[in-house]
Structure 1
């Protein structure tokens, strides 16, 4: 039998906000400011006898974690269920307890503000054979410095490249305006390049390659990007009367579900885009695309979607929905398999943690949890020797720039061979 809650002076202080808890300043950029929920948090935790020691010791960090796990996961059982977890895991940290629920609920390091981080405009890929430049964005800092797709990076600022992709990205990071020196291996020859990091923060890039519109979307985070897409890329595609579209989601980490649904509205009519359910719930909900038959810009235009192992979350959802509802052909590598929608919270100590709020599924009810989305045509990022020769276009330099990318070249060849373009 669990003990009753006894509200001592210490626990009353917790409720009233002493020990600095209630005096915490609202955190800038926080999704949930501490002062807005601290009273509800302490009342919820104190209502369960087995959690009384958290109230007694004023363990705010653990109280927050339990409060949000319960509030955002919408558990089908009472807070008392956490007692069994805490009893079994008394020696575990809050982060380890979070990860018991799913692999995406976790504490994380807060990153510097995005506008203070310089960008190099390149996508980096790591395989057992080394670290490679997978894609260099048109007119970005890396391209201006002379980097090319499939260059191997052997040193960064004179030091060997890190053994993990996160380590490599850390080596490449730096403030806007600073420089980073890289040593590359290209065609068996070592060459050195210096990249000046910039505030370059492109949301997308596009090109017209013959009869094909090419669009690379870097994330699904900013709805403003959709307005810019409509004003620039889509207008250009309509002016050029393109016959097919290549959508490039390689390296796209996802973003908001709302933006993903709005993006789908350009290509497909209302229909099941995905299914989702709350963790530990048996209730399923349908997500429907926002397209309207009279407003579709590209109804019936053949689609090819490029993906890789760094395609995650809502980017996977869009790719899967387009294949199911628009018969889009997916080319590349298996996607990352992030099946959860997460929300970020900054706690009273300024620590960032993520909680899963929903699990999502493809239109046919399958999860991407195991292996991600498998492509219809598998390509290897370094297998350029098998990429077919492409025709020369009037804007030969710009088209050739994109067609030197193996995945784009294979996608273009698929459209040619299937008779969808000439």
Structure 2
């Protein structure tokens, strides 16, 4: 996130604060401010004077701010108290709880994604699940922070979640034992045939360095070189733009990585490969990038950059489609404005807003028995109320691609389980590297 001096926001707050707190009529207020602010203040006065119960100023002002930002896009928000603390906790990457990313969807708590290896992930919570009850208490209609507070708790304690899942007729309960969530941004494994699998779970500080360290460790364990790399960005909700650039720079010797274009002259920025590391640290070996509907923001920047430069084959499912940049503007010690200030574009000039990144080879997650049913109702940027509309309408075409069935992928979850395959997308990527690795290298 970028931090900017909140001049425009501060001016707005000052304008509101300078309006006299009297029972002056609409005409008197209108002479001091614009007609729109005059309407707002007149309604504020009526609520203060005539609502059935007394209402504190902070409740009304916060409601007005939230309503104003909700009229913009799903990612602009006013953060204070618990909401700001929750954001800071997620940035720190360490807390006690379930390990899921959730958001409100018409009053319901919807799972965006469980973090890999988290208690929720191990208990079988899936992206797209609706959490209706926590320990038997209905959470529909609650503020998101209150619902999250009920799910959080000391490590070692259990919580019962009632889930509604697309494809199942009835809600069902899942018991999850809370744990200490210490998100590991980067993990890696060496597979047969000298293939490295590097999983990037979030774009927090030093991810570029961590991936470089992972690559060096994999090389060392395989006698100094690798035959190919799978860069796994599935279920990665994003994070730092700078780290997305740093990661892309590892595998690109030159050229543009991403551009950020905003409303003001200083909001347009171009990020190029700077060869902080000497050229392509992978020395041209083939790379497959795995993405899915949970790959968002910074993940899409990396996938788009490597795809446009033909440095990697992108495989999996269409990504989330969050092509906007948010700036966090501190307003006070315990309050901040998270405001959408720009859109980003891949090197070829594509905006992934709404449409996301379409993989070069679409590979469904056949090993998940509910994946196909959930995919029809999966939550992406284009499903969010008030999302920014792409300049080029790609959503309908890409949604149609999501519905198509590839005749190559017909194995059932039961058949894959008999073969010992728990992650079909990863298995298919590794098979592809073993079978066509030299051709993929020549493609670059």
Indicate the TM-score class for this superposition, using the shorter chain for normalisation: 0.5 to 0.7
1:288 aligns with 2:267: no
For the pair 1:340 / 2:311, whether they are aligned, the reply is no
Cα distance 1:283–1:174, how it changes in 2: closer, same or farther (>3 A)? closer
1:256 and 2:240 aligned:
yes
> Is 1:174 paired with 2:153?
yes
1:194-233 to structure 2, matched below 5 A, reads 194-211=176-193, 212-223=195-206, 225-233=207-215
CA contact (8 A) 2:113 2:294 kept: no
**Contact 1:154-1:184 within 8 A present in 2 as well:** yes
Paired residue for 2:19, among 45, 49, 56? 56
| Counterpart in the other structure of 1:330 | 314
Q: Secondary structure at the match of 1:56?
A: coil
Q: Which residue in 1 is equivalent to 2:59?
A: none
| TM-score of the two chains, using structure 1 as the length reference | 0.63
* Offset, 1:350: 3.3
1:332-411 paired onto structure 2 within 5 Å: 332-348=316-332, 350-382=334-366, 386=409, 404-411=422-429
1:251, 1:310 within 8 Å by CA — same for their partners in 2? yes
2:83 equivalent to 1:105: no
Q: CA RMSD in A?
A: 4.9
Quick check: 1:279–1:359 contact (8 Å CA) kept in 2? no
2:258–2:347 CA contact under 8 A, matched in 1: yes
Give 3-state SS (helix, strand or coil) of 1:336's partner: coil
Alignment of 1:60-75 (within 5 A): none
TM-score, scaled to structure 2? 0.60
**Secondary structure at the residue paired with 1:343?**
strand
In the TM superposition, 1:132-171 aligns within 5 A as: 137=116, 141=119, 147=123, 159=136
What's the counterpart of residue 416 of structure 1?
434
Matched positions, count? 341
Which secondary structure does the structure 2 equivalent of 1:315 belong to?
Answer: helix
Q: Distance in 2 between matches of 1:104 and 1:231?
A: 33
- SS of the residue corresponding to residue 96 of structure 1 reads helix
CA distance in 2 between counterparts of 1:214 and 1:207 reads 5
CA distance in 2, matches of 1:372, 1:233: 27
Q: Per-residue deviation at 1:175?
A: 3.7
CA pair 124-420 structure 1, distance change in 2 beyond 3 A: farther
For the pair 1:320 / 2:294, whether they are aligned, the reply is no
Give the C-alpha shift of residue 406 in structure 1. 2.1
Structure 2, unmatched stretches of 5+, are 22-32, 44-62, 104-109, 370-408, 413-419, 440-444
The residue number in structure 1 matching 2:400 is none
Sort the Cα spacing of 1:155 and 1:45 in 2 relative to 1 into closer, same or farther, 3 A: closer
Query: By how many angstroms is 1:203 displaced?
Result: 1.5
